[in-house]
Amino acid sequence: MYKLKKQEGNARRGELETPHGTVQTPVFMNVGTAAAIKGALSAADLKIIGCQVELSNTYHLHLRPGDELVRDMGGLHKFMTWDRPILTDSGGFQIFSLASLRKISEEGVKFNSHIDGRHIFMGPEESMRIQANLGSDIAMAFDECIKIPSPREYVEKSCDRTYRWLVRCKAALSEYNSREDAVNPGQMLFGINQGATFADVRIEHMKKIAELELPGYAIGGLAVGETHQEMYDTIQAVEEYMPKDKPRYLMGVGTPGNIIEGVARGVDFFDCVMPARNGRHGHLFTWNGIINIKNEKYMRDEQPIDPECDCPVCKRYSRAYVRHLFKANEMLAMRFAVMHNLYFYNKLMEKIRMSMDNDNFEQFRSKYTKMLDTRI
């Protein structure tokens, strides 16, 4: 159940009740693709850095260790010892980006595993079965993530098929939730809006999926090659037709500036691999902009990564030490960098929520949107 607590312009302050706790929104979900954060952060670490929702991947967990094994181990929460909300994405994006020799039909998608090449089939029912076995709090519908640019005719046909798949997802998950042995009978289904950058196609698709009265809705298929302005325009076009009493999720986005602008356009949920991936390469977010900790100018710098940050790394270690770890190829470098960046993103969302509680989100937006994305 989603509760909209207040608005400032299109920006929304709310909360979502799930079987594993209440999520304060807007929120950034920390991405643990294979039930772990790349960068050696554990579930215990995620609590320390303020993570509200962990996101795992249906495709990867189906291939390894196998969703039935996770089910036998008591579900994903118990398996990774995380007692807060989990969202699982449907596997659609990975199938269309990672898998080779895929063949799309009305039934679903046949593809080869990127791990060992074996033949796999996944459709709406299979995706829901896997996610039901994992027992996440939010399951994402199975959809086709359309490449940008794509011909309009193909986009329209794909959106029609994604709608039909969504109807099947809803029926399948309802059936799994009703079983006596359901891992998480309160699991919610979010539908996904597609349509590339064709605003009218996006709007029509959004209108259709809104009629299904799902617990939440996502805008998918962005951050895949379009410009930032095209992304913002797409969000703005679709937002008007998204149910006001349901959470909105912008999939795979993005930079701190993207997130602030997404919030300004009515988005509640975000996720992105960027803070962890960039951190592993030494690119660290601060409240004054982005630094490359590998730069020589930090060789003797006794300051923390960000003097304004109170993450576990900044409380104790210097830029000089973190730089040394990277130069020495120590595993600890990645752990520190990822921990700092994810803490920064979680704190960013906390500050956004606070600015809305205090009716000064627009001031926050004008101060930080460009600054946080600037390399210094």
89 has catalytic annotation: yes
Please name the residue ranges forming H helices in the chain. Answer: 43-48, 58-63, 67-72, 76-79, 92-97, 124-134, 152-177, 199-210, 228-239, 256-264, 274-280, 319-327, 331-357, 361-368
Positive or negative, the Cα torsion across 254, 260, 263, 264? negative
Check 89, 137, 143, 268 and give the catalytic one: 89
245 has catalytic annotation: no
* End-to-end Cα separation, the chain, in angstroms: 42
Using N-to-C axis directions, what is the helix angle for 199-210 and 228-239, rounded to 10°?
Answer: 40
Name the nearest CA neighbour of 340 among 69, 13, 39, 61.
39
Encoded tokens for 244? 């006001």
How far, in Å, CA of 203 to CA of 199, rounded? Answer: 6
Q: What letters, b where the CB count within 10 A reaches 16 and e where it falls short, cover 281-305? A: ebbbbbbeebbbbeeeebeebeebb
Q: What is the dihedral of CA 173, 174, 175, 180, to 10 degrees?
A: 100
**Structure-token match 């900790």, residue found:** 293
Which DSSP string corresponds to 47-86?
A: HHTT---EEEEHHHHHHTT-HHHHHHTT-HHHHTT--S-E
Check 137, 268, 271, 306 and give the catalytic one: 271
The residues assigned a catalytic role are 89, 271
